[in-house]
Amino acid sequence: MPRTVAPARRHTARSRRLRITAAFAVLVAVAGYLTVQYVTGSKGSDQCTVQSADGSVGEGRTYRLTSEQAANAATISAVGTTRGMPERAVTIALATALQESGLRNIEHGDRDSLGLFQQRPSQGWGTAKQILDPAYSAGKFYQHLAEVPGYSRLPLTVAAQRVQRSGFPQAYAKHEPDATLLAAALTGRAPAALNCDPPRSTAGTGEMTKVRAALVRSFGKDVLPSDEATDGADTGAPAAGSTAGTLSVPVQATRRAAEGGTPRRGWELAHWAVAQSEALGIDEVSYAGKKWDSGSGWRTEQKESGTTAVRMHLAQ
């Protein structure tokens, strides 16, 4: 005769299964939270701040991010403006990268997804090595965005989704305020809006050849005079307008003006240098009567600098 399970025992077994299921769900949630924190770059300290001082952008919002995130954001912006893309395109790109990777150049993702935008080699975005180059991956994003008719007038989620084909298209929306603030600073519209304070222990010695190469990679070869972009970059010797420890980057004439009337191009270059300060060993940046250093942030210079060049002083 088969044995029957008493009702109390069945209830106990069912309760045990429920407890195990609940515990498993908690573990999955914790693992998911930790994964998100890792992917979005939440580990580590926030060393950079973007702030709208006058409230004209984001109503006085402040956004904090790490030096790594700031450097990647500056590259994304520089690649976009160099391609002639408007500030709205940069905002879309930054919001997309915030969602996809937390502005971190990660070497993993869903299936074979990689990099800032989680692009997939198997889907024709390029080789794994190419995609893990922030300038390349940003360029591919803008290339596809430019093919979206009327993208600048579309809701950000729609424009980003036309490029990314994400399973969670509405997720881009929550990043639009921070991306808008970042884009205003990094495209040069909001002067002295980005400040970074990298820890002294990680600040390395600046190398002129690396700074020049990074500028050309982000802004194209025309960002530097021909002697600096070619001969100087090859030999490491200072070229015209520079000294052994200081690089002077000319600000090309432009019709676009920042808030206050200075050329946006100058503030774009200055903010790029601040964002790259830890990675490239830049410890001072001067432009338009303002000076940034890694200990004090932006302040007014006693001897006002002009608006025809951005000067980047390298740590020695």
167 assigned to some structural domain = yes
User: In which domain, by residue range, is 215 found?
Assistant: 200-314
33 assigned to some structural domain = no
Q: Which residues pair with 135 in a beta bridge?
A: none
9 assigned to some structural domain = no
Cα dihedral 249/311/90/277 (nearest 10): 120
Residues 183 and 204 in one domain: no
**pLDDT the model gives residue 49:** 95
Taking the C-alpha atoms of residue 278 and residue 47, their distance in angstroms, rounded to an integer, is 10
Residues 103 and 139 in one domain: yes
Q: Which residues pair with 150 in a beta bridge?
A: none
**pLDDT the model gives residue 204:** 56
SS3 label, residue 242? coil
Residues 158 and 246 in one domain: no
**pLDDT the model gives residue 262:** 86
SS3 label, residue 11? helix
- Comparing CA positions, the residue from 92, 90, 87, 86 lying closest to residue 157 is 92
262 assigned to some structural domain = yes
Residues 179 and 285 in one domain: no
* Reported confidence tier of residue 258, pLDDT bands at 50, 70, 90: confident
**Segment 66-75 mean pLDDT:** 97
For the record, the structure tokens of 254 come out as 């432009």
Total domains in the fold of the chain: 2
269 within 8 A of 191, measured Cβ to Cβ: no
4 assigned to some structural domain = no
Q: Of the candidates 139, 157, 187, which is a domain's last residue?
A: 187
| Percentage, residues of the chain above pLDDT 90 | 59
Residues 179 and 210 in one domain: no
281 assigned to some structural domain = yes
The pTM for the full model equals: 0.80
For the record, the structure tokens of 300 come out as 């007014």
Residues 248 and 173 in one domain: no
180 assigned to some structural domain = yes
Q: In this structure, what DSSP letter does residue 55 have? A: S
Taking the C-alpha atoms of residue 283 and residue 313, their distance in angstroms, rounded to an integer, is 6
The rounded mean pLDDT for the chain is 82
Spell 35-49 as b/e; 16+ CB within 10 A means b.
eeeebbbeeeebbbb
Residue 42: is its pLDDT beyond 50?
A: no
* Reported confidence tier of residue 234, pLDDT bands at 50, 70, 90: very low
Residues 175 and 56 in one domain: yes
Give the number of C-alpha atoms closer than 13 A to the C-alpha of residue 74, restricted to the C-beta side. Answer: 30
**Segment 87-116 mean pLDDT:** 92
Query: Any idea how long the chain is?
Result: 316
Residue 57: is its pLDDT beyond 80?
A: no
**pLDDT the model gives residue 201:** 53
Residue 254: is its pLDDT beyond 90?
A: no
SS3 label, residue 43? coil
**pLDDT the model gives residue 209:** 93
70 within 8 A of 194, measured Cβ to Cβ: yes
**Segment 261-281 mean pLDDT:** 94
11 assigned to some structural domain = no
Residue 240: is its pLDDT beyond 50?
A: no
Q: Assign residue 171 the CATH number of its domain.
A: 1.10.530
**pLDDT the model gives residue 13:** 54
**pLDDT the model gives residue 104:** 96
**pLDDT the model gives residue 232:** 38
**pLDDT the model gives residue 227:** 57
Residues 211 and 166 in one domain: no
* Reported confidence tier of residue 25, pLDDT bands at 50, 70, 90: very low
Task: Give the other-Cβ count within 10 Å of 134's Cβ.
Answer: 24
* Reported confidence tier of residue 199, pLDDT bands at 50, 70, 90: confident
For the record, the structure tokens of 59 come out as 């109503």
Residues 60 and 182 in one domain: yes
- Comparing CA positions, the residue from 133, 39, 40, 120 lying closest to residue 79 is 133
Residue 68: is its pLDDT beyond 50?
A: yes
**Segment 139-147 mean pLDDT:** 97
Residue 27: is its pLDDT beyond 60?
A: no
103 within 8 A of 116, measured Cβ to Cβ: yes
User: Any idea what the Cα angle at residue 283 is, between residues 281 and 289, rounded to 5°?
Assistant: 140
**pLDDT the model gives residue 286:** 96
Residues 116 and 153 in one domain: yes
Q: Of the candidates 187, 216, 231, which is a domain's last residue?
A: 187
Residues 68 and 156 in one domain: yes
Instruction: Choose the weakest-confidence range: 163-177, 233-247, 288-302.
Output: 233-247
- Residue-wise pLDDT for 155-184, tens only, equals 999 999 999 988 888 999 999 999 999 999
The number of helices, as runs of H, and strands, as runs of E, in the chain is 12, 8
Q: Which residue has the tokens 């001082």?
A: 53
Taking the C-alpha atoms of residue 51 and residue 202, their distance in angstroms, rounded to an integer, is 24
270 within 8 A of 310, measured Cβ to Cβ: yes
Q: Of the candidates 159, 187, 215, which is a domain's last residue?
A: 187
Residues 287 and 247 in one domain: yes
